[in-house]
Amino acid sequence: MGLDRGSDLPLYQQVAAHLRNQILDGRLAAGTRLAGSRLLAAELGCSRAIVLTAFDLLYSEGYLRSVPRGGVEVAAIARPSGRGAPQPEAGTEGEWVSEAWRSVLDTGYEFDPASPFSPGTPDISEFPFDVWSRLLRQTWGNPASSACIDMPPLGWRPLREATAEYLGTVRGLLCQPDEVAITSASSGALNLCSRMLLNPGDEVWVEEPGFIEARWSLRAAGAKLVPVPVDDKGLIVAEGIRRAPRAKLAVVTPSHQFPLGIPMALERRQELLEWANRQGSWIIEDDYNSEFRHRGSMTASLKSLDRSGRVIYLGTFSKVMFPSLRIGYLVAGPRFIEAFGRGRARIDVHPAGTAQLALARFLRDGHLLRYLRRMRKVYADRQAAVLNAVERLMGADVEVMSQRAGLHLTVLFRPAMTARISDREVSRRSRGTGHFVQPLSQCYLGEPDRQGLVLGYGRLRAEEAFPHLSALAGLIGPAT
Amino acid sequence: MGLDRGSDLPLYQQVAAHLRNQILDGRLAAGTRLAGSRLLAAELGCSRAIVLTAFDLLYSEGYLRSVPRGGVEVAAIARPSGRGAPQPEAGTEGEWVSEAWRSVLDTGYEFDPASPFSPGTPDISEFPFDVWSRLLRQTWGNPASSACIDMPPLGWRPLREATAEYLGTVRGLLCQPDEVAITSASSGALNLCSRMLLNPGDEVWVEEPGFIEARWSLRAAGAKLVPVPVDDKGLIVAEGIRRAPRAKLAVVTPSHQFPLGIPMALERRQELLEWANRQGSWIIEDDYNSEFRHRGSMTASLKSLDRSGRVIYLGTFSKVMFPSLRIGYLVAGPRFIEAFGRGRARIDVHPAGTAQLALARFLRDGHLLRYLRRMRKVYADRQAAVLNAVERLMGADVEVMSQRAGLHLTVLFRPAMTARISDREVSRRSRGTGHFVQPLSQCYLGEPDRQGLVLGYGRLRAEEAFPHLSALAGLIGPAT
């Protein structure tokens, strides 16, 4: 054994660790009399005092015992045998993980973040990291101690204020800082809301087709998912009431339904709010990517119609800035926020602090608004390029669903196409080609009533749209 | 209504929002014919085109409808009445939060972070924020795109590597980067482990007395907590086996039991590992604050005795650096880590990325080791000062439990003291005095078999120990 004098671990600790491992491995059996400290010290090239300290430590830990006529020997230790134990290293985790955890692992889902078509992946190449890194340095160079100890469970106050202002400006959503909670992106918000509102077995309406990621947190909270179909006016509320009138929660994307892109019609919004009020149920509005609207008209958020605090509005900065940021927000009534904060303080404490200070400044100084203006144009051009390429390459085979916002387009197979090939088959063929595309049917809990493809273009440069899509069209093959 | 030309919200959006709210509030009743666009434009001082665009938007949203002889009027909208709905703004959250959430809110716990005696609160006044902020700037000035998109669910690879190295050096815990997962501090690790391992109703051993915060995440996961008493050798494993032989999990603090400071004896460690192996149960070792050891001898971690992957080792950087960092880690077998990562990817995605890059550098460059060396001395001096003051001021009344590490001391009331006053009464008297102190009995789930006080000294400067403790002694009053 060699001692590492550069290590922060004291030499006697290194000696003790060396002997301890030999004892635990059985290389030094019980009753073995240890060589004298002088001998061992000479062998290891350290002072005898160090060896004696190591002996003391192992003695106090019970690895050594003194023997009648001086000296020490290895004590009798019941080594963990591991006999008869279901080893976690053996078998599948299905044998030992919780049902909730397994339910999440079991849901199949294909996603290739490297694909130019991966939906919801933003382009980070133009993000002003110079500004971001400067703000990080400025905010942490000499921080207030209130920023260094545990932050409030609802988030750093200046960030809550800046977020409320941001939502008014960008989204026309008028809210007070007290109604805002900072979360670990929108998935973190959904995760905590699910645990806060749902008891195992509670029914939850989810859109069919819908956002797959959203279902995981609901499942993990023990929810019974009730798929509610979507038509050209959005969620069919009457059908939801027929299938699960007493659902505790409905999770919807009213601004532009994921993945179809349909805005929820006003009468449906009113029906949904009426139902929630009547039932005392909750509505989670996931307003994903509404910052990236391409047509002028921005649909008002469902939250802005909510007069009785049943709507919990979710959004995230991670998608509009960069994903690893993991900062989002929820907007809800003061009483909800209060109970959210008190419970969160006990199981989640508060969202990581480091980025919150810089983000508050980034918003206040208008950097995000400027960046958004630039990126709206970038993404609008990309969408236009994809629309154009789809029209030219697959016009006869597919129908494009309108997308007034977001980072993806969904194309539906026309009957002739559906007769030729399934969307899962197209997706299967695209694997490993560098153009992996998600099948629409993957977004269904039940039997798909549509076939199509979800085409993300967040990282697809306009000039690359045509070549990538013709490669994809090539996989599908011509109409016969 | 005034238009805000400085706003990022387009003027037509502002006009639309103005009218939408009037319609929703009923100020513009159904059937009301809107003033002509010219008139409204003049009134608002904007172009007619803007008003017409706003009309189009409200029309498409269904707020307006065209009337036979031209012009538009307010459409009939079913406004959410809220009649008969249990309003979240009324009543207590107990009516609508989940049982798990309520179980967490219901546990009483008194904590005053501002008190000089608050346990576990580190001193951040000497933390090298200049270095930290410089590393943040360096790591984010021109980051690799892999650092900006979603990170791996187990954390930023270089940080996992640096953490494995750190644990070997500081803790003598030898592990591979693949066995390390980065978490949102140790509470985040405990939170996810609870959800991963426990089904509602599963029994979990917790130390009695024990760490209160740890129980919340277990409760939120639906666990049935089984208090297992602690004696001068640590957890009484035989008693745990008597009370709940088939417990799914045991949560322990073997290095220095919280709050008593007792290291778990080797035979108890072996018994615990034997039981876990036999049962296929799990052990969470919370090795809180072991970095701050004051006596030379550092007890080996329980994890280092684990030969069959039943031990999940938890630690955090937040307590040794600064709490708002919210970065910790767990060390476990590869199969556990793998299932942990796959499930986490679906409900928690990954820990916030911003600080991970800087922390990896902070560790690699040895900044944390240097800081720890300095702070060990600082905290050792503070502990000595507290010991000395307690001896002089309360020596006759209390017995000090040895603390070989950490940021707090626990003092036990001697029988005479217990006869005079309860620890809860002492705590009650200390409220609002600026010297709030936690009663030991607060750390019990059941009937306390000890009375005492938990004296944190993380932020208690050595020279302040005596005055603060004499103030506290004054609240207790002299022996009669």
Domain residue spans of chain A? 11-74, 127-368, 370-476
- A324 pLDDT tier (thresholds 50, 70, 90): very high
| Residues of chain B neighbouring A158 (CB-CB closer than 8 A) | none
- Interchain CB distance below 8 Å, A353 and B326: yes
Per-range mean pLDDT, top range of A290-304, A420-434, B298-312: A420-434
A44 phi/psi in degrees, rounded to 5: -85, -10
pLDDT surpasses 50 at B80: no
Please give the residue that has the higher pLDDT: either B288 or A83.
B288
pLDDT of A87 higher than 60: no
Q: Which of residues 404-423 of B touch A (CB under 8 A)?
A: none
The answer to whether B20 contacts A304, with C-beta atoms less than 8 Å apart, is yes
Which element (helix H / strand E) includes A314? strand A311-316
Hey, is A447 helix, strand or coil?
coil
ipTM > 0.90, yes or no: no
Q: Classify domain A11-74 at the CATH class level.
A: mainly alpha
**Cβ A13–B298 below 8 Å, yes or no?**
yes
Inform me whether the C-beta atom of residue A392 falls under 8 Å from chain B C-beta atoms. Answer: no
A127-368 is classed CATH 3.40.640.10: yes
| Per-residue tokens: A23 | 């004892």
Confidence of residue A295 (pLDDT cuts 50, 70, 90): low
Q: In chain A, what percentage of residues exceed pLDDT 70?
A: 95
Q: Which tokens hold the place of A346? A: 């006990």
Residue B105 has pLDDT above 90, yes or no: no
**B36/A438 Cα distance (integer angstroms):** 48
Chain A nearest-CA distance from B39, in A, is 22
Put simply, whether B53 touches A (Cβ < 8 Å) is yes
Looking at beta carbons, which residues of chain A come within 8 Å of B170? 8-9
Residues of A in contact with B151 (CB under 8 A): 324
The more confidently predicted of residues A298 and B31 is B31
Q: Which residue has the higher pLDDT, B386 or B57?
A: B386
* Cα B145 from Cα B353, distance rounded (Å): 12
Which pLDDT band, with edges at 50, 70 and 90, does B480 fall under? low
| B54-68, B202-216, B401-415: range with lowest mean pLDDT | B54-68
Architecture of the B370-476 domain: Alpha-Beta Complex (3.90)
Question: Lowest-pLDDT range, A136-145, B19-28, B118-127, B423-432?
Answer: B19-28
Q: What is the pLDDT of residue B83?
A: 36
Chain B CB contacts of A196 below 8 Å: 97-98, 101
- Record: contact A325-B352, CB cut-off 8 A: yes
- B12 has pLDDT over 90: no
Per-residue model confidence (pLDDT) at position A350: 95
The three-state secondary structure class of A249 is strand
Q: Does A25 touch chain B (CB under 8 A)?
A: no
Pick from B8, B150, B185: which is nearest to A113 by CB? B150
Query: Looking at A156-160, A357-361, A380-384, B79-83, which range is the least confident one?
Result: B79-83
**pLDDT for residue B176:** 94
Give the residue with greater pLDDT, A231 vs B80. A231
pLDDT at B382 exceeding the cut of 60 = yes
Q: Does B163 touch chain A (CB under 8 A)?
A: no
Give the number of A-B residue pairs with CB atoms closer than 8 Å.
375
CA B92 to chain centre: 24
Residue of B81, B129, B191 lying closest to A143 (CB–CB): B129
Compute the average pLDDT of residues A271-295.
91
Q: Residue A328: closest CA among chain B residues belongs to which residue?
A: B352
Q: What is the pLDDT of residues B311-326, one digit of tens each?
A: 999 999 999 999 999 9
With a CB cutoff of 8 Å and minimum separation 6, the contacts of B91 are: none
- Please check whether residue A261 is in contact with residue A403, taking contact to mean a CB–CB distance below 8 angstroms: yes
Which residues from A are below 8 Å from B195, CB to CB?
A: 98, 100-101, 220
pLDDT of residue A48: 85
Task: Decide if pLDDT at A79 tops 70.
Answer: no
pTM: 0.88
A346/B213 Cβ within 8 A: yes
Of A10-14, B191-195, B212-216, the poorest mean pLDDT is in A10-14
DSSP result, B19-66: HHHHHHTTSS-TTPBPPPHHHHHHHHTS-HHHHHHHHHHHHHHTSEEE
**Letter for the amino acid at B25?**
D
